[in-house]
Homo-oligomer: A and B are copies of this chain.
């Protein structure tokens, strides 16, 4: 995350700058206004000229500040149109770890089914990761992702509960395939970035059954922590898939 990140309160004080660059301070101030929801994702912030005038600063300075937030993934600039607050992560970015080759038919669309949903108390690791007090409750989901008729990924999600209450009751069969846009629409939660941790293991009998594999079959586990705009962890996700379908490319530098 950007180095100039401060608490919202600190960033909002209008005293100019301590030992910091002016554009760094401006970036913090603008970030705070975005996090406060002054402009919703997808909406344009005021044009450079207006911002420059209102902060009493030259155009180039405001542009440097905006560049920081663009690099941070918070803003997006469109030539001739304006500067927009970015919407969150969209795509089915879990499947990028696997190649599931469709034999026969054309590549069928991936889809998802919720296998189970329940509330329970967060254990210590979960509470720690989600920044919850001890004894907080969470929503736990099991989810099966398939391509065509072939089940391929088995997922467990842990969501902090005051925040995701709206998902605790609604009809799961009506849910979207992609959860992140739904988080945003239904709960106002924007997923901004995530960290995926990969490891190998073996399927238990129960897990294997879900995916038409055998107990002990090699398995890739992707453990994800997903964060909102304010950099709070708001989703824990564990995804299991056939290790022989695993395929991932990493760029070095």
Q: Which residues on A are within 8 Å of B, measured CB to CB?
A: 73, 89, 93, 192-201, 218, 220, 224, 243-244, 246-253
**How far apart sit A157 and B96, CA to CA, in the bound complex (Å)?**
27
Closest 10 pairs (CB-CB, A-B): A194-B252, A200-B243, A198-B248, A196-B250, A200-B246, A193-B253, A197-B249, A218-B218, A199-B247, A195-B251
**B193/A251 in contact, CB under 8 A:** yes
Question: Which residues of B lie under 8 Å from residue A198 when comparing CB positions?
Answer: 246-250
**How far apart sit A249 and B194, CA to CA, in the bound complex (Å)?**
10
Question: Which residues of B lie under 8 Å from residue A218 when comparing CB positions?
Answer: 200, 218, 243
Q: Given contacts A192-B253, A199-B246, could you give 6 more A-B pairs where the C-beta distance is less than 8 Å? A: A93-B252, A193-B251, A198-B247, A199-B248, A200-B246, A243-B243
- Copies of this chain, complex-wide, total 2
Question: Which residues of B lie under 8 Å from residue A200 when comparing CB positions?
Answer: 200, 218, 220, 243-244, 246
CB within 8 A of A250: which of B192, B244, B246, B250?
A: B250
Chain B nearest Cβ from A85, distance in angstroms: 15
Question: Which residues of B lie under 8 Å from residue A196 when comparing CB positions?
Answer: 249-252
**How far apart sit A252 and B92, CA to CA, in the bound complex (Å)?**
12
**How far apart sit A132 and B55, CA to CA, in the bound complex (Å)?**
58
Chain B nearest Cβ from A159, distance in angstroms: 18
Q: Smallest CB-CB separation from A251: which chain B residue?
A: B195
13 residue pairs A–B, Cβ–Cβ below 8 Å: A89-B252, A93-B252, A195-B252, A196-B249, A196-B250, A200-B200, A200-B244, A200-B246, A201-B244, A218-B218, A224-B252, A243-B243, A250-B250
